[in-house]
A and B are shown apart, each in its own frame.
Chain A
């Protein structure tokens, strides 16, 4: 018997607005607890909500990028429930007239391109954070995230495998991060995903009982949770030992299993109703076109530009356009050093491996592009050689040193004095007569050995080109 896994996703993405959805507080991540809080977003009475226009524009942008229909008269609703991290006792969200409907995106997996359709995208406000402090046995509330604007992207149950889910999420992340809609960082919670999953016999038209998985903190966790949960459903269908019930389950990353969150969650009546204090937002054609005009290059556009206009190999272009951060580093560096292939090499070979050693992903790399460009210039105009440049890059990455000054202070400039280098080369050849003989017998590989020795003697500063020429000249004489 074969089975089909049916998956739908609810993806929450925090919008990259300066301020919150209904007040002027900063929406930035990482502030001290309750630093970005005012009477309105901490639930005090007497603060009418005022819609942040920028959040609506980012919602429109998300709709345009996902081929959605944009709602012309958008309204907000109130969702009522009591919880200490929700200071007003209601969340402002969109149930009746969400900003976008009926969109789609194409995803690519090993088995080709597939179109995933979206039910809707709606704007809503985030809740605060509840922290239990064991020292004083008290619950503490941080309202910094309260009322930060989110969009929730709800897909139809079109996805079938964990591979497709990861491809879908990666595509969304690329679309949204390149457009500046969200930075989509799962580890900071600016991208969150709930998975709705059910299993049915292949060919069956009827959907199986669905469970919802929450608490998924990485693409890897999402894939593992889907694998686990679909196995659980299939086993239940096959053995009949367990009955799948419609419920919300929590994924335990450590155990790699999902657990029932048995609570009153599903029984809650949220008493949604149209928010009477907010006027409907009218979205005109002009407004939509104005937003479209400000949309920056997509990852796909950028890939085309890098390969067609800048003649980068597809492999390089794919890595660079696979991360919004790398793209920005590439573009910013290009402003100062116009050698795309060289920049791509430095990013892909050197920068990524340094970051990896520092346990940083491509989205977390922070580098001063001006210094990065200077370093490449120093290398290109032969002030320093490539090996020295690599060492300095680590210093730029870790300590933010200024490459020019660093070269000067540590006297790392490349040695191009041919007479001086020739002396070193002669010394090395004299000291390694056995290897010279090997070379004469046709072993080209020893050249590398000589270069290493020479570089050592010159503290790594010798011009490798001159060294090579000298070696050939002296050996072939």
Chain B
């Protein structure tokens, strides 16, 4: 079972199995977030999603492999999809939970013929999730069927007082809306998409009345997301210093040596790149031209979305170019905290975004096109 780091079957045979990414903490079990820096660390508690899964009658099948802290593969080429996606695609489990702040899982799910549900930011508790970029971290669901996925989402979603950045709603009911859905299909994004995804989005959009203008700030979405996420990651990864838990370098001469050696040996290249970029954009010199600008941009991007004129936004999953270029189409949901589903359609990859907490619009679209 190469998609697992470790199996940790809980529950009985008749329970539905859910795989969890190795960034989600389970009491008494190792958790690494895909990084050597956390080797030897054992979780002191169960993540809220784990307790809710168990209370909802689901069983955890095991912890799946992931890229270090779920980072974009910029330095280290990812040779295979994440364990969560493969476990579901291979039929080992019906569902897998993971944190997809970067959008890579969304793409991989569609590429493997399955689906991903990225809930509204602040609807699923992150208590017990190893943080990467706090303002974008969100546990989502890899699934074979989106309608079934929403069934699982209703089990794990809802306010948790242990996470201070959540909507107050105690629970959510996911059901299709009784209305005619209007879709926004941004021309400029389609132009940049790979041909299969462009065709898929156009095919999908034919089911709905469309608004077809340009997506504002499309050319800078990934830059803003990259700057903000690296900054947040650089702070969140400071706790891995070899002092308290996790990996510690064997040799060091003094405190600085302990920090430097531990972190040099413990982090992979993509993490180091994020740390360097994050520290740089927060430095005195670059704060205003980089970090503050990205923050302002995020606000402007959120404000530019006009969910009064349309219910959903249809986007491709891949842009011509590499992982960084492609992240432009994933950045929107992360920056604006929007719910999103992705799946393969007519041989291409598509994602549908809706206004915060309007998962039901997504469900309506999915039911309409997969009937």
Contacts and interface: CB of A to CB of B under 8 A. Distances in A.
A269 B281 CA distance: 12
A82 B47 contact: no
A46 B25 contact: yes
A265 to B, nearest CB: 15
A255 interface: no
B259 to A, nearest CB: 6
A82 B165 contact: no
Interface string A268-286: 0101111111110000000
Given A39-B44, A45-B236, A82-B259, A273 B291 contact: yes
Contact of A46 (B131, B284, B295): B131
Contacts of B241: 82, 84, 89
Contacts of B237: 89
A374 interface: no
A43 interface: yes
Contacts of A273: 231, 235, 282, 287, 291
Interface residues of A, number: 31
Contacts of B228: 276
B224 to A, nearest CB: 13
Nearest to B283: A269
Interface in A32-64: 39, 42-51
Contact of B43 (A43, A46, A274): A46
A43 B244 contact: yes
Contacts of A22: 164
A50 B161 CA distance: 8
B252 to A, nearest CB: 13
A46 B231 CA distance: 18
B164 A271 contact: no
Contacts of B161: 50
A145 interface: no
Contact of B282 (A43, A48, A51, A80): A80
Interface stretch (B3-11, B102-110, B122-130): B122-130
Contacts of B208: none
> Chain B binding site: helix, strand, loop or mixed by DSSP?
loop
A43 B244 CA distance: 8
A48 B133 contact: no
A80 B162 CA distance: 24
A43 B239 CA distance: 6
B283 A271 contact: yes
B235 A48 contact: no
A279 B43 contact: no
Interface residues of B, number: 44
Contact of A84 (B130, B164, B243): B243
Contacts of B165: 48, 277-279
Nearest to A43: B239
Contact of B164 (A44, A51, A89, A272): A51
Contacts of B163: 48, 50
A276 B232 contact: yes
B323 interface: no
Contacts of B44: 39, 44
A396 B342 CA distance: 76
Contacts of A42: 244
A155 B292 CA distance: 28
Interface string A169-196: 0000000000000000000000000000
B164 A88 contact: no
A87 B236 CA distance: 11
Nearest to A42: B244
A324 interface: no
A319 B239 CA distance: 49
Nearest to B45: A39
A278 B131 CA distance: 13
Given A82-B259, A84-B243, A273-B291, A48 B164 contact: yes
B358 interface: no
A277 B136 CA distance: 9
B68 to A, nearest CB: 13
Interface string A72-98: 000000101010100111100000000
A141 B243 contact: yes
Nearest to A143: B244
Nearest to A48: B163
B39 interface: no
Contacts of A277: 131, 134-135, 164-165
Interface in B251-301: 255, 259, 279, 282-284, 287, 291, 295
Given A50-B161, A271-B283, 20 more contacts: A39-B45, A43-B244, A44-B239, A45-B33, A45-B130, A45-B131, A45-B239, A46-B129, A46-B131, A47-B162, A48-B131, A80-B282, A89-B237, A89-B241, A274-B295, A276-B133, A277-B131, A277-B165, A279-B164, A279-B165
29 contacts: A22-B164, A39-B44, A39-B45, A42-B244, A43-B239, A45-B25, A45-B130, A45-B236, A46-B25, A46-B43, A46-B45, A46-B129, A46-B130, A48-B126, A48-B165, A82-B241, A84-B243, A87-B239, A88-B239, A89-B238, A271-B234, A271-B235, A271-B279, A271-B287, A273-B235, A273-B291, A274-B295, A275-B134, A276-B133
User: What 9 pairs across the A-B complex have the smallest Cβ distances?
Assistant: A89-B238, A276-B135, A271-B282, A50-B164, A277-B134, A276-B134, A48-B163, A45-B130, A43-B239
